[in-house]
Structure 1
Amino acid sequence: MPSGTSLTTIGFDADDTLWHNERFFQLTEARFREMLADQAAGEVVSSRLLEAERRNLARYGFGIKGFVLSMIETALDVTGDAASPQIMRQILDAGREMLEHPVETLPEAKETLEALAGRYRLVLITKGDLFDQERKLAASGLGGFFDAIEIVSDKSAATYERIFTRHGDGPARAMMVGNSLKSDVLPAIAAGSYGVHVPHELIWALEHAEQPAAEPRFRRVARLGEVPGLIAGIG
C-alpha cells in the first residue's frame, strides 16, 4: 500500500463508469414517447418527463423506480389524468424490464480494477436504488475487487469526506473516478480529493456540469484503461 502523502484510496462510480446504464433509460424513454404519441409530440413528452424527474429526485431519489414513477406522473399530466390502464401497464412492464436487464460491463473495467486491486483501497461509490445497485454489482462480477461498497442517496462533498475517512486516510489521499462531472468529480474535488472524469457517450440531462479545468486536482482521461497510469504519475 502506498505510504507518505501519496494516494491510498481510489473510489469508483458504477453506472456508466464500470457498466452501461444510461442507454437503458434512453431506450425506455423512447418507448415512453411512443406510448404517448397520440397525445403529445415526443419532445413535449421528454420535456415533461425531465421536469417530473427533477421535481421527484428529493422524494424518490435516483434509479429506475423513481424513473417509473415519474413516467406515470408524466403520462397522467400529458393526458389530463386520462392515461389508459394499458399505458400504465406498459410503463410498469418497461420498468420491470429495466430492472431485469443483463449487466454489460464497459471496456477495460475489469482490467483497470485488476491493475489497482491490492495496491490501493478500492471503494465502489454509487447512488441509486439499493436493491438494483446490489443486483448490478453481483451480476457484473466486479465486486471482489472492492474493499468497500457504498450505495448512497446522493453524492456531495460531505459524502466523499465521510467515505474516504471511513475507508481510507481521508479525502486528501483519495481519488474519485467517474463519468459524471456533477456527481463524481466536482464534489470529490470540493472534499479535497482528486476527481477524474472518464467521459461516457451518454449523460443524463440532470448530470451535466462544466469541466473544472482550473482545479489542480482535476484530471480527465479518454478511457478507463488510462486510470492506472494516471495514478502512477500522481504517486
Structure 2
Amino acid sequence: MLTTIGFDADDTLWQNEAFFRLTQDRFADLLADHADPDHLHDRLLAAERRNLGHYGFGIKGFTLSMIETAIEVTDGRVEASVIAELLATGREMLRHPVELLPHARAAVTALAADYRVLLITKGDLLDQERKLAQSGLGDLFHGVEIVSDKTAAVYARIFARHATQPDQAMMVGNSLKSDVLPVIEAGGWGVYVPHGQTWALEHADEPADHARFHSLPSLETLPDLVGQITHNHHP
C-alpha cells in the first residue's frame, strides 16, 4: 500500500530546462565567431558530462562548463568581457522567478492530505531551497531531500529515513534516468510525467512493460492514479 509520494522539482513542479536552453542560445551568440551552434552545443554537453563528478548538477556547474568550453573553442583567446557575460547569465538564471507547471499545486495539495509527500531533487542546494521557498509549495512537503545524484541506493536510504518500505513509495518526475528507473530498481513505483524539454544527459528508455511503471501526460491525473494503486493493492 502506498504511503509515500516523492516529487522531482525541476521540470516536474516548475520550469527549468527552458532557462538552460535560453542561456545556451545566448552562449552560442556570444561565441558565434568561433564555432557553429551545433558544434558548440556538443562541446558544452561534453564539458558538462566531464564535470558532473566535480560540480554536480545545477546552474553553477553549467556556468563553469560554459566558461571552460568558451576557453577551449577559442584556443584560450576568449575575451574577458565574454567570460563576464557568461557569469552574468548564470547569476540571472539563479535569480529567475519560479514558474509552476500546470496542476503542480493541485496534485501536491491533494496527495499531501493522505500521504507522506517528499520533494527529492538534485542541484545546487541554495538554488533549490530558493525555488522551493518561492514556489509556495514548501509547507505541503513532509520532507525535502536535496541530493547530489539519484540512484537506487539513494532512494532506498531516503525511504528508510522516512520509515517507508520501497514498495510503499512512489517517485514522480520528468526524468526516466533519475526519477523512474532507479526507484523501480529500489523496489518502488515510478511515474513518468514527460516535459517537452529534457536535458540530453537525462535521456533513458521507458521500462514500458514493468508493473510498477506508469506514464502520465501531466500531473492532473496523478491523484487518481495513486488512488487506484492504493485501492488495488489494499489487503
**Sequence identity (%):** 60
SS in 2 for 1:103: coil
Of residues 12, 28, 31, the one that matches 2:26 is 31
Tell me the TM-score normalised to structure 1 length: 0.97
Query: What RMSD over aligned residues (CA atoms) do the two structures have, in Å?
Result: 0.6
Distance 2:105 2:151 in 1: 27
Residue 193 of structure 2 corresponds to which residue in structure 1?
A: 198
Give secondary structure in 1 for the equivalent of 2:77.
Answer: coil
The whole-number CA distance in structure 2 between the counterparts of 1:120 and 1:103 is 25
Alignment of 1:90-105 (within 5 A): 90-105=85-100
Is the aligned partner of 1:57 residue 2:52? Answer: yes
Q: Residues of 2 paired with 1:223 and 1:168: CA distance?
A: 28
- SS of the residue 1:62 aligns to: coil
Residue 209 (structure 1) aligns with: 204
Specify the alignment match of 2:178 in structure 1.
183
Instruction: Report the alpha carbon displacement of residue 71 of structure 1 after superposing the two structures with TM.
Output: 0.2
Q: Which of 34, 39, 42 is residue 44 of structure 1 equivalent to?
A: 39
Confirm or deny that 1:146 pairs with 2:141.
yes
Aligned mate of 1:219, from 214, 222, 234: 214
Q: CA deviation at 1:118?
A: 2.5
Say if 1:8 and 1:168, in contact at 8 Å, map to a contact too. Answer: no
Counterpart position of 2:167: 172
1:112 aligns with 2:107: yes
Q: For 1:154, what is the secondary structure of its paired residue?
A: coil
Give the counterpart letter for 1:17 in structure 2.
Answer: T
Residues 26-63 of structure 1, C-alpha deviations (whole Å, 9 max, x = no match):
00000000000001111111110000000000000000
TM-score for the superposition, normalised by structure 2: 0.97
Q: Which runs of 5+ in 2 are unaligned?
A: 231-235
Question: Using the alignment, how far apart are the partners of 2:220 and 2:211 within structure 1?
Answer: 22
Aligned to 1:131: 126
User: Is the contact between residue 16 and residue 22 of structure 1 (CA under 8 Å) also seen in structure 2?
Assistant: yes
Q: Distance in 2 between matches of 1:44 and 1:169?
A: 46
1:69-92 CA deviation, whole Å, 9 max, x = no partner?
000000000000111011101100
In the alignment, the residues of structure 2 paired with residue 227 and residue 162 of structure 1 have an alpha-carbon distance, to the nearest angstrom, of 24
Q: For residue 3 of structure 1, what is the aligned residue in structure 2?
A: none
For the residues of structure 1 that align with 2:164 and 2:124, how far apart are their CA atoms? Answer: 28
The residue number in structure 1 matching 2:6 is 11
SS at match of 1:126: strand
d(CA) in 2 for partners of 1:233 and 1:73?
49
Count of equivalent residues: 230
Counterpart secondary structure, 2:171: strand
**Counterpart for residue 69 of structure 1:** 64
> Secondary structure at the residue paired with 2:38?
helix
Q: Which moved more, 1:121-130 or 1:109-118?
A: 109-118
Task: Tell me, in whole angstroms, the C-alpha distance in 1 between the residues paired with 2:163 and 2:185.
Answer: 17
**1:140-185 superposed Cα distances (whole Å, 9 cap, x missing partner):** 0001110000000000000110111111422111000000000000
Residue type matched to 2:135 in 1? Answer: S
Aligned partner letter, 1:185: V
> Equivalent residue for 2:227?
232
Determine the C-alpha separation between the residues in 1 that align with 2:219 and 2:159: 21
Q: Which position in structure 2 is the counterpart of 1:89?
A: 84
Which sections of structure 1, spanning at least 5 residues, go unmatched? 1-5
Counterpart AA for 2:150: K
Q: Distance in 1 between matches of 2:168 and 2:18?
A: 33
